[in-house]
Amino acid sequence: MKTTKLILLTAFASLALSQRNCDNAAQLCDVTGYSTFGNQYSDTTTQLDSGVRQLSTQVHIARNEHTKARELHVCHTSCALFDAGTLSDWLFEIRNWMDANAKDVVTVLLVNPDGIDARELESQYAEADIARYGYAPGDIRKPHAPSNEMHKTWPTLVQMIDKGHRLVSLIQPLKPDKEKAPYLLNEFDFFICQPDRPLKSKIPEMRNSGCLFLMNHFLYWQQAFRIQVPDNRNINNTNSWDGKGGLGTHIIDCSSQVTRQPTFVQVDFFNVVPAIAATDIMNKLRKPVGRKEMPEEAVVESSAATGPLGV
């Protein structure tokens, strides 16, 4: 299983070649938000090709298998359980894709349970030569003022693309370092999740916050020893528009409560149903262009595919 997340407000539409596209759709160039997605069957490049624009994983301190030198690895919970290799290699894969797709904005969310500092993380970005794409807000310790259609305080996609600042990096937890790594942002300084993260946030607070709104949409299957895994038995309903516990119904309900559409939505197995269809509906996009279809067999593929896992 691979981790990643899909973009909600950055989808795709069929447009004349003379029009400028941002994340494959001209009408998204003036959009300030995007969306998301969790545990996946496919690798990072495949997900990006398929329309995913937010990627998420955990970063842990590990040791080089041969030299025993300290390294930062992409792992799930523990590198002893699942180790997908070095953080710099994963970032390098993203950078290669961004090099080839100059009109796309990508968001990376890193869970940082070992408390790795900004300078050490920055060294991995530098090694992958992806730091040059990093978006750095004027104040890296607090979000922009609340944004609306008349007064957009977050940059639009086209503004980010024009400046070359097409990578948003959010890390939890992180003590920001404006001098050495101004593009590495503490997640909960800029994100708010429905409705309990961080610190049991309430609906009124979410309505008035300038933070980006992240909506989680997962169904777990309880295993022995209180272990929970993604419930792929019911994934066709979970990722549907209006099935039992469906994604579309959840988006509409959350949007109604918070009085704004989620910026990001996280799901498991985005290509099943596919979940990305729900985000196309919310974005009013009927004929996406530039998105590669995942092969049908990928939907039933074993979860043994290697890669960083969602959280």
Q: What is the identity of the amino acid at 148?
A: N
207 CA to centre of own chain:
21
> How confident is the model over 188-213, as a mean pLDDT?
74
pLDDT higher than threshold 60 for residue 127 = yes
The verdict on residue 309 lying in a domain is: no
Nearest to 55 by CA among 16, 93, 11: 93
Supply the pLDDT for residue 112: 97
The verdict on residue 227 lying in a domain is: yes
pLDDT higher than threshold 90 for residue 76 = no
The verdict on residue 305 lying in a domain is: no
- Here the CATH number for the domain that contains residue 268 is 3.20.20
- pLDDT 10s digits, 273-292: 888 889 888 888 888 788 88
Residue 37 belongs to what domain range?
A: 2-299
The pTM assigned to this predicted structure is 0.81
Q: In Å, what is the CA distance from 176 to each residue of 144, 169, 180, 259, 311?
A: 16, 12, 9, 30, 22
The token pair that represents 250 in the structure block: 């959840």
The verdict on residue 311 lying in a domain is: no
Tell me the range of 1-15, 185-199, 286-300 where mean pLDDT is highest.
Answer: 185-199
**Mean pLDDT across the chain, nearest whole number?**
81
194 pLDDT tier (thresholds 50, 70, 90): low
Q: What is the DSSP string of 5-55?
A: BEESS-------TTS--BTTBGGGTT--------EESS-HHHHHHTT--EE
Quote the percentage of the chain above a pLDDT of 70. 78
Burial of 9 (0-12, 13-18, 19+ CB in 10 A): buried
> How confident is the model over 134-146, as a mean pLDDT?
89
The verdict on residue 173 lying in a domain is: yes
The verdict on residue 306 lying in a domain is: no
Supply the pLDDT for residue 305: 27
The verdict on residue 310 lying in a domain is: no
198 pLDDT tier (thresholds 50, 70, 90): low
121 CA to centre of own chain:
18
The verdict on residue 211 lying in a domain is: yes
Q: Number of folded domains in the chain?
A: 1
